[in-house]
Amino acid sequence: MFLRRNAQLLQQELNFEAELLEDNPELAQTIHSLNPHFSQAVRSL
């Protein structure tokens, strides 16, 4: 039951994030431009 609820909450969060990015193209572009730097930082850990 815990895992099912956790999956539901994650899906809600992903849906909210998708809506937020659709409504804010500037935010989507900023995240996209920062993503390579974030990925590089994660790889160095």
Under a CB-based contact definition with an 8 Å cutoff, are residues 20 and 27 in contact?
A: yes
**pTM for this one?**
0.58
Tally of residues, the chain: 45
CB 21 within 8 A of CB 28: yes
The pLDDT, as a whole number, for residue 25 is 87
**pLDDT attached to residue 45:** 54
* pLDDT tens digits along 1-45: 899 999 999 999 989 988 988 899 898 888 878 876 654 555 565
